[in-house]
Amino acid sequence: MTSARIALVVHADIPDDPRLRRQAEALRDAGHEVDLFGLREPGQRAEESWNGIRLIRLPVRRRFTGFAGHLAEYLAFAAVASVRLAAEHRHRRYRLVQVATLPDFLTFAALPVRLTGVPVLLDLHEDMPEFFRDRFASPGLAPLFPLVSGAARASAAVADAVITVHEPLRQLAIARGVPPQRISVVMNSADARVFDRSRHPRRAFMADGRLRLVHHSNLQRIYGADVAAAAVLRLPDTLDVHLDVYGDGPFRAELEAALKEVAPDLYRHIVETAFGDILSRPGLDPKTREIATVSALTALGNAQPQLRFHLNAALNVGCSRAELAEVLMQMAVYAGVPAALNALYLAKEVFAERDEKGLS
């Protein structure tokens, strides 16, 4: 296949979204030129090259505030993306435009380019109707949900083809009217460069007698962290089970409250393993622990919500801003320049937020 210029459009921080990052890297490795369009947060450059991928950050940032806030932000991003995408196409001459949800109607941002004959691929990360039903359960918004479902169907109709993350979501899309032959599954998968099995010793399943379960997500109700916790509760007491929940999101407080009420022992097991058993150990002071945590999260490169939390925590336990900046610059040597720069941009945003609140 000859080299082509391909545009990826997503309402997300770039290049932090792991699915989009993997897709962009795969296209780059196949010899294509990739332009990745996304949000622009404070301190980020409007345009830069990252690992051979062109990042184009549009002047819209995350400011979700209720249903109206989500809708306004989505519409603003779609409008700006449509104008910029059409302008770039005039001299870049894209061979394909891929649009990632949410929102589904972001597909319409690619319509001007599609009218020139460029195919559009819709990547369904979520089911938009279920997402909005989960996030906005107010009875007053119920009359709007048919409109959301209609927008999802229209968005799929505009696209030349659709991909999604797993078969249940594919079946749901088909039930909503997407022809089966037009939608395929491209699953998320572990990055072999990060999860290299050759670097870790193999062991038999439950070799130490413990069943370890992991749930990782942006904690939304529809992702089922509560289902995982409820399932653990139904297991017999004779089975040694350890459930780790990684992530953050709007459902976290509700999930924690439910676990505290229904299964306080399980809640302590999930939450206090890290924040109790580990962080309370006497070997390191809180400041040193937070520096170690910030360094590790920076090196991971895909844990921005947790890094934001621990940058604040480090400042709260006595780290200065200058010390954190030095830590992040040091990480450029051992974790790579892109990871360090992303962390520095996030630190700048955290500092600005604390300035607004009058915090050091």
> Residue 318's domain spans which residues?
286-357
Residues ≥6 apart with Cβ < 8 Å to 54? 33, 34, 35, 36, 47, 48
Quote the DSSP letter at residue 318.
T
DSSP 8-class letter at 273? I
Instruction: Kindly report whether the peptide bond that precedes residue 146 is cis, defined as omega within 30 degrees of 0.
Output: no
Residue 197 lies in a domain: no
Question: Residue 317: which CATH number?
Answer: 1.20.1290.10
Same domain for 100 and 212?
no
Claim: this prediction has a pTM higher than 0.75: no
pLDDT band at 78 (very low <50, low <70, confident <90, very high): very high
Spatial separation of the C-alpha atoms in residues 158 and 173, rounded to whole Å: 14
Half-sphere exposure of 64 (CA within 13 A, CB side): 9
CA dihedral 269, 275, 280, 285 (to 10 degrees): 160
Handedness of CA 327, 333, 336, 342 (dihedral sign): positive
Q: What is the mean pLDDT of residues 257-277?
A: 58
The yes-or-no verdict on residue 280 having pLDDT over 60 is no
Q: What is the pLDDT of residues 165-220, one digit of tens each?
A: 888 888 888 888 889 999 999 988 777 776 777 777 788 888 888 888 887 766 66
Residue ending a domain, among 224, 248, 278, is 278
Give the Cα separation of 154 and 71 in Å (integer): 17
Instruction: Judge contact between 131 and 102, C-beta under 8 A.
Output: yes
Written as six digits, the tokens of 282 are: 């006497």
Three-point CA angle 39, 123, 102, nearest 5°: 45
Picking from 278, 312, 345, the residue at the C-terminal end of a domain is 278
For residue 300, give the amino acid letter. L
Same domain, yes or no, for 207 and 94?
no
Instruction: Give the count of domains, the chain.
Output: 3
pLDDT 10s digits, 94-143: 999 999 988 888 999 999 999 999 999 999 988 888 777 777 767 777 77
Task: Give the model confidence (pLDDT) of 296-317 as tens digits.
Answer: 989 888 778 778 888 988 888 8
pLDDT value for 275: 52
Question: For the domain that residue 236 is a member of, what is the CATH number?
Answer: 3.40.50.2000
